[in-house]
Amino acid sequence: MQNHQNRQLVIQRILQAIHTHQKVLVVVSAMGRRGKPYATDTLLDLLPFTENSIETDLLSACGELISSSVLSMELKANGVSSTLLYGRNAGIITNDNCGNALIKKVDLSSVYQAFENFQCIIVPGFQGVSESTHNFTTLGRGGSDLSAVVYGYHLNADMVEFYKDVPGIMTADPFTSKHAELIPFMSYEELQEKIDEPVEVIQKRAATFAALHQVRLHIRSLYKDSEGTFVSN
């Protein structure tokens, strides 16, 4: 999401998904990593201290809100039937644990209503809304992965696709090892064991939720049309 060229690749993937599935919900992460404008860590560097609080969660949520807004407008500019839902309308309702909120319930009434008029719905990942205070809350580092799996489960999706900067789940870190090979198929248990290693391709909470609820996953590269890694039983 960090530049226009990457977002064009994202839009191509969305168009392919719409062609295949007709209705698509897209969970968006923040743009880039620390040092890049609008990255979550860059935004948090603005604060004098970053202990979990209402302020840190609100600022942390901004990265995904910015990405979602930009992608939504670019989709419309490309003639894609799409809309943006965020906050309470996005349907993720949590407790008050700032920085690592627990999901208490999921209300997708606004999502289903939007699907009556649009083929594609954009939602910012990594965040929810507190049931008691209605403040923004965040779901822990890598929480957009959890958002995607939760939406996939509650929407009875055929599969949840993750587009990453790696080809899929590898036998070793592809950025440091010349001998890293793609693992084309994995069970949920194998994925959770792999996440315990230093390279965490998807958030551990997301992998645990997928295993518990049998949500099929497809982890693949944004940049290449390779098959990636399928995770199921």
- 164 lies in the same domain as 227: yes
- Of 65-74, 113-122, 224-233, the range with the lowest mean pLDDT is 224-233
Given 126, 157, 188, the domain boundary residue is 157
pTM over 0.75: yes
| 98 and 148 both lie in a single domain | yes
**Which of 49-53, 183-187, 197-201 is predicted most confidently?**
183-187
**How many domains does the chain divide into?**
2
Task: Write out pLDDT tens, residues 9-22.
Answer: 999 999 999 999 99
Question: Is the model's pLDDT at 199 over the cut of 80?
Answer: no
How sure is the predictor about 194, in pLDDT bands with cuts at 50, 70 and 90? confident
| Same domain for 186 and 78 | no
Kindly state whether residues 119 and 129 are assigned to the same domain.
yes
Q: Are 209 and 195 spatial neighbours (Cβ–Cβ below 8 Å)?
A: no
Please compute, for residue 212, the number of CA atoms within 13 A of its CA located in the half-sphere on the CB side.
10
Closest CA to 220 of 228, 212, 211: 228
Residue 165 and residue 146 share a domain: no
Work out the pLDDT band at 80, boundaries 50, 70, 90: very high
| Residue 148 and residue 182 share a domain | no
Rounded CA Rg of the chain: 17
Same domain, 8 and 45: yes
Dihedral sign computed on CA atoms, order 34, 219, 179, 204:
positive
Could you tell me the CATH number of the domain that includes residue 65? Answer: 3.40.1160.10
| Residue 78 and residue 29 share a domain | yes
Domain that holds residue 11: 1-157
